[in-house]
Structure 1
Amino acid sequence: MIDIQKIRADFPILNQKVNGKQLVYFDNGATAQKPQVVIDAISRYYSEINSNIHRGVHTLSQLATDAYEASRNTIQKHINAKHNHEVIFTSGTTFGINLVANGFTALLNEGDEVMVSNLEHHSNIVPWQFLCEKTGAKLVVIPMNEKGELVMAEFDRLLSSKTKIVAVNHISNALGTINPIKEIIEKAHGVGAAVLIDGAQATPHLKPDVQVLDCDFYVFSGHKVCGPTGVGILYGKEEWLHKLPPYQGGGEMIAEVTFEKTTYADLPHKFEAGTPNIVGGIVLGTAIDYLNEIGFDNIAAYEQELLDYATEKLLQIEGLRIYGTSENKASVISFNIEGIHPYDIGTIIDKLGIAVRTGHHCAQPIMQYFNIPGTIRASFAFYNTKEEIDIFVEAVKKAQMMLT
């Protein structure tokens, strides 16, 4: 069970007023708010152990290195990676996808196929387009249906021995759809293809087990799981990380450098060139510990309550349509009201202290499918309440009245 008042007390920003109104923060799909324990951990790092890592024999450097590597171990345990060197620190999901896509440049030939889905964020489309342009490979797209679900019969039809990598999201950022990634991974492996899972939207809501999923790569961002911005994780199976060439050259990722030849460091350092976001890496572990203390089963059950409640309340508004009606979805509601541009509603309810996202949510192919300019997206987290949903629904009704 979630003690909502105790949890809300952990998040100082939730006490804030916006435009003279109590903040209602429903833009968690873009970034999550930070608990005090995370904010304190950032301050403590800079106050007590700020130093570069892996390179110093002095005490502060050793303390910082120990804290950074302890966080790697925390994340390894959290996602159930087999080895801690399969956990690569990145700047976020986008960086992780680009790292893998760039590495596959050396592994693909003209005529090979890269498969993505119609539900992807631009970050899981554009890097693969770059890859295809460089190699002559073909980008293949799994279509979606009116409910916002992948058409698995078409996935089966499109999958072939030409498919070399399948890159799909675990949960759609725009619609909240939870994709059947276990089935996708099994079938892709059946034709010898690798699989990358974009977990940016999934990791705030559930605990991925990369060994049970058997995915080859899993990427996510720290700021979506109550951690800092500018840090993320690329999980890669050891054998795949050995196959991929380094993404960047510089300090830390080398074993030996001469002007004639450079040899690379072992995993994970092969992919961690330069001074990293040290505090981000350390505090990401703090954020993961915080979420695990609450419990992901508790988070999922409570967020489902919020989703069901908000869906019921919003559908009572005349002319309102929800996009993404899969039975298996996360706590995200994308909707429009007939005859009103989503931006106009978002602007009005912001004046009432309510933060939502409007637009195409970096998922333009989804909007093109529905032939709409964008949606209003309300995305809920475990620190939100039904009372906030009531305030939100009344604000949407007020905006509708003002705009019609």
Structure 2
Amino acid sequence: MTLTADHKRPTSADQPWSAAELIALDERWSTHNYHPLPVVIAEAEGAWVTDVDSRRYLDLLAGYSALNFGHRHPALIAAATEQLSRLTLTSRAFHHDQLGLFCRELAQLTGTDLVLPMNSGAEAVESALKVARKWAYRVKGVPDGTAEIVVAGSNFHGRTTTIISFSNDPLARNDFGPYTPGFAMARYGDIRALESVITDRTAAVLIEPIQGEAGVIVPPAGYLRDVRRICDEYNVLLIADEIQSGLARTGTLFALDHEGVRADLYTLGKALGGGILPVSAVVGSRAVLGVLKPGEHGSTFGGNPLACAVGRAVVRLLETGEYQERSRVLGKHLHRRLGELVGRGVAEVRGRGLWAGVEIAPGGPTARQVSESLMERGVLCKETQDTTLRVAPPLVITKEELDHGIDAIAGVLVGR
């Protein structure tokens, strides 16, 4: 069924919208800044989603880690529902009864002193950059207006104008200048390259412990420890972007934990909102976050009562260690089974925990084609770059469900 020229339905309003109609509406009325698979999801629970035609799919993407606890986790839905019945927003012009509790509980979970609540992950990164610059001027003594942040090549930290200014991805960067100055770039995983761009004006090193958008790239062993050592040696802050890699995704609370490294600031997001609403935060030491004074930074919705109530429920789930353990155990199984495909349509498998980048062998299908074939088999996944399939299921997935998804990947790439 097609839509009329003015895109009003030619049929009764009681008739359900078809997938084709809904996709046509998206194509007509929404800006084309995404390229989604042609599936229209209407319901979800746990690791499964259901489309408007009542077909079920296994979710192996989990909202890029925003759904670490699965779709509609009962504890998170209960916390949101209870808070919705009482109070949703006050703005930070007033105190409310959830903010202090959320900040204390998140700080205690992460072993930090202070919490700066925001909304999106990109806002958390922007906030950390501002804090690092002010720290450089007020504490380190960098001349005003000259502070630099060192970043890694092939990074992904969001899509604001400042953040894409230090991206080397043409798709994210081109045609959006002029760009924000004050950044230096070093090749990811190369500690000598990193040290070579550190100067007296360097305020911080901003880094992803695992680069997700670049293809789930894990740095060489010891690299993150060396980054910490260099930051200490040159009196530079270490900012860890754990928006995708954190909150149990890799089998530990933070991906940095695999090397026993602590950051001065962590940026958090995605899973912190439990798949219900955007919740992000910068967490870190009082010596660094304490440089902010009233009026210097803020957000109308940052730290709102509903966000704090959901965030507190997320913290309670993480405090048990259950999801870190699930990611560790099932992650070993995931990587073992995907590793069996190397040389059989797969060139390499990268990642940690329940997070894998499946590099498709040269001469094979594109990652987009693999994603489309998986969709036909009832499994939802997504490409990152042209040759990498990103696998990041909800941490509530069972071993049987995980095997179902891996079997589908093998069926597409190996033909079994």
TM-score (norm 1): 0.71
| Aligned residue in 2 for 1:45 | 83
Q: Would you say the 8 A contact 2:121–2:268 is kept in 1? A: yes
1:386 and 2:411 are equivalent in the alignment: no
Instruction: Give the deviation of 1:192 after TM superposition.
Output: 1.8
**Structure 2, unpaired ranges of 5+:** 1-43, 138-142, 168-177
Q: How many residues align?
A: 339
| Aligned residue in 1 for 2:123 | 95
- Which of 320, 323, 328 is equivalent to 2:346? 320
Q: Would you say the 8 A contact 2:354–2:395 is kept in 1? A: no
| Aligned residue in 2 for 1:80 | 111
- Which of 163, 182, 190 is equivalent to 1:151? 190
- Alpha-carbon displacement from aligned partner over 1:218-269 (angstroms, at most 9, x marks no partner): 111043673533111111432333445x7xxxxxx5xxxxxxxxxx4xxxxx
Q: CA distance change for structure 1 residues 54 and 399 in 2, over 3 Å: closer, same or farther?
A: closer
- Which of 292, 316, 319 is equivalent to 2:319? 292
| Aligned residue in 2 for 1:5 | none
CA distance in 1, matches of 2:123, 2:144: 23
Q: Would you say the 8 A contact 2:60–2:379 is kept in 1? A: yes
| Aligned residue in 2 for 1:171 | 210
Aligned residue runs from structure 1 range 66-215, under 5 A: 66-82=97-113, 86-103=114-131, 107=137, 113-123=148-158, 127=162, 130=165, 137-141=182-186, 143-144=187-188, 150-174=189-213, 175-179=215-219, 180-205=223-248, 206-208=252-254, 213-215=261-263
| Aligned residue in 2 for 1:367 | none
| Aligned residue in 1 for 2:60 | 26
CA distance in 1, matches of 2:133, 2:267: 19
| Aligned residue in 2 for 1:12 | 45
Q: CA distance change for structure 1 residues 236 and 401 in 2, over 3 Å: closer, same or farther?
A: closer
| Aligned residue in 1 for 2:358 | 334
- Structure 2 residue matching 1:23: 3-state secondary structure: strand
**Higher alpha-carbon deviation: 12-21 or 231-240:** 12-21
Q: Would you say the 8 A contact 2:350–2:358 is kept in 1? A: yes
CA distance in 1, matches of 2:48, 2:255: 35
Q: Would you say the 8 A contact 1:331–1:381 is kept in 2? A: no
Instruction: Give the deviation of 1:47 after TM superposition.
Output: 1.6
Q: Would you say the 8 A contact 1:177–1:330 is kept in 2? A: no
Q: Would you say the 8 A contact 2:231–2:238 is kept in 1? A: yes
Instruction: Give the deviation of 1:163 after TM superposition.
Output: 3.0
Instruction: Give the deviation of 1:357 after TM superposition.
Output: 1.5
**Higher alpha-carbon deviation: 375-384 or 86-95:** 375-384
- Which of 211, 220, 226 is equivalent to 2:274? 226
- Alpha-carbon displacement from aligned partner over 1:304-323 (angstroms, at most 9, x marks no partner): 3233333234336x222225
| Aligned residue in 1 for 2:334 | 307
- Structure 1 residue matching 2:61: 3-state secondary structure: coil
- Alpha-carbon displacement from aligned partner over 1:24-44 (angstroms, at most 9, x marks no partner): 111033431241110121111
**Higher alpha-carbon deviation: 374-383 or 96-105:** 96-105
Aligned residue runs from structure 1 range 358-373, under 5 A: 358-360=383-385, 373=386
- Structure 2 residue matching 1:121: 3-state secondary structure: coil
**Higher alpha-carbon deviation: 33-42 or 106-115:** 106-115
Q: Would you say the 8 A contact 1:17–1:23 is kept in 2? A: yes
Instruction: Give the deviation of 1:13 after TM superposition.
Output: 4.1
| Aligned residue in 1 for 2:380 | 355
Q: Give 1 or 2: higher helix fraction.
A: 1
Q: CA distance change for structure 1 residues 129 and 195 in 2, over 3 Å: closer, same or farther?
A: farther
CA distance in 2, matches of 1:81, 1:222: 19
CA distance in 2, matches of 1:12, 1:103: 38
CA distance in 2, matches of 1:31, 1:383: 13
Instruction: Give the deviation of 1:79 after TM superposition.
Output: 0.5
TM-score (norm 2): 0.69
Residue type matched to 2:253 in 1? Answer: K
**Structure 1, unpaired ranges of 5+:** 1-10, 57-61, 145-149, 247-252, 254-263, 265-269, 361-372
Instruction: Give the deviation of 1:293 after TM superposition.
Output: 2.4
Q: CA distance change for structure 1 residues 243 and 290 in 2, over 3 Å: closer, same or farther?
A: closer
- Structure 2 residue matching 1:322: 3-state secondary structure: strand
| Aligned residue in 1 for 2:390 | 377
Residue type matched to 1:188 in 2? Answer: C
- Structure 2 residue matching 1:123: 3-state secondary structure: coil
Q: Would you say the 8 A contact 1:170–1:201 is kept in 2? A: no
- Structure 1 residue matching 2:200: 3-state secondary structure: coil
Q: CA distance change for structure 1 residues 68 and 243 in 2, over 3 Å: closer, same or farther?
A: closer
CA distance in 1, matches of 2:313, 2:342: 38
Q: CA distance change for structure 1 residues 380 and 78 in 2, over 3 Å: closer, same or farther?
A: same
